[in-house]
């Protein structure tokens, strides 16, 4: 069974689809058996495409993008090995909806995997900003990828040994 990772932001049109497609790119490049998707904590954009500025930033950096927004559902906790919140608010929302400690233990902040993040573990919401804000978010997402990949490789190795 594949290792499953999901990224969660507010409306699932900016940050989480960006993180999804950057991580998906790296997973595919390495041939890892990892399923990747994303969702939002709220229903505001369910059924919408990714924000065009997200798509533009991804494509300019050489990533693919295809996305339909959806809201994270509490019954999904059992489906994921790792649930990555994009900021502290998402982390709180996810922990509040988690059915038990095991589910809460699978929720982390994406920037926990960025060695240069320091105490600033939030990926800022670029929605009300311009192109530069989306480019900044992309850089923050990319900075977390090497350690996130290390973490997932270690987790999948442990699962194979068990």
What phi and psi, each to the nearest 5 degrees, are found at residue 85? -80, 145
User: So what's the pLDDT on residue 157?
Assistant: 82
Considering 9, 93, 114, 122, which one is annotated as catalytic? 9
pLDDT score for 1: 79
What architecture is domain 3-161? 3-Layer(aba) Sandwich (3.40)
pTM tops 0.95, yes or no: yes
Q: Tell me the domain boundaries of the chain.
A: 3-161
Is the separation of the CB atoms in 84 and 110 below 8 Å? yes
> What averages of pLDDT result for each successive group of 10 residues across the chain (162 residues)?
96 98 97 97 96 98 96 97 98 98 98 97 98 98 98 84 62
Tell me whether residue 13 is exposed, middle or buried, using C-beta atoms within 10 angstroms of its C-beta: 0 to 12, 13 to 18, 19 or more: buried
- Dihedral angle computed from the Cα positions of residues 144, 148, 149 and 152, in that order, rounded to the nearest 10 degrees: -170
Does the annotation count 15 as an active-site position?
A: yes
**9 is an active site residue:** yes
CB of 91 within 8 A of CB of 107? yes
Contacts of 72 (CB under 8 A, 6+ apart): 6, 8, 39, 40, 41, 94, 97
- Residue among 15, 53, 106, 111 flagged as catalytic: 15
Active-site pick, 48, 81, 125, 133: 125
């Amino acid at each position: 069974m594949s290792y499953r990772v999901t990224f969660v932001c507010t409306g699932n049109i900016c940050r989480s689809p960006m993180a999804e497609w950057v991580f998906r790119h790296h997973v595919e490049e390495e041939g890892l058996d990892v399923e990747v998707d994303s969702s939002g904590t709220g229903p505001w954009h369910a059924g919408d495409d990714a924000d065009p500025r997200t798509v533009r930033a991804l494509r300019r950096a050489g990533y693919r993008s295809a996305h339909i927004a959806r809201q994270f559902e509490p019954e999904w906790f059992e489906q994921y090995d790792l649930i990555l919140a994009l900021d502290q608010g998402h982390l709180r929302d996810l922990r509040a909806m988690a059915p038990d400690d095991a589910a809460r233990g699978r929720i982390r902040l994406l920037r926990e995997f960025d060695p240069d993040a320091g105490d600033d573990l939030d990926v800022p919401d670029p929605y009300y900003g311009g192109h530069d804000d989306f480019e900044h978010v992309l850089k923050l997402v990319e900075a977390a990828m090497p350690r996130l990949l290390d973490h997932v490789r270690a987790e999948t190795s442990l699962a194979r040994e068990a």
